[in-house]
Amino acid sequence: MITTQEIKHLAGLARIEISEGEVSAMTSEIDSILGYVGQITSATTQVEYSIPPLRNVMREDVPTHTAGQYTEAVLQNAPSREGNLLKVKKIL
């Protein structure tokens, strides 16, 4: 059970001013909240979780194309080129 002193201490840490009426109201509210959290904690500690074994779902990293296979097709669509390179504006 939380005490009024603890409520006042928490209010001081949060730098908020609360009246005596608010302290007594918060005492009962925080007690009910902490009780509920305690119920959730006890319920979740009794649950057993089973994790399926991990497996790699990615494909092997192997080359599927020969080097330069699509170079000419890409360069034909470029507005400007210099040899086998795309020519672009200088950006600073």
- Give the pLDDT score at 8: 92
Q: Under a CB-based contact definition with an 8 Å cutoff, are residues 18 and 26 in contact?
A: yes
- Domain ranges in the chain are 4-45
Q: CA–CA separation, 49 vs 47, rounded Å? A: 6
Q: What is the pTM of this model?
A: 0.44
pLDDT (0 to 100) of residue 16:
93
Per-residue pLDDT of the chain (92 residues; tens, 9 = 90+): 789 999 999 999 999 999 999 998 999 899 999 999 988 888 777 667 778 888 888 888 888 888 888 888 889 998 998 888 888 888 88
Fold classified for 4-45: Histone, subunit A (1.10.20)
CA angle, 25 then 27 then 29, to 5°: 70
Burial of 27 from C-beta contacts in 10 A (0-12 / 13-18 / 19+): middle
| Number of Cβ atoms within 10 Å of the Cβ of 7 | 19
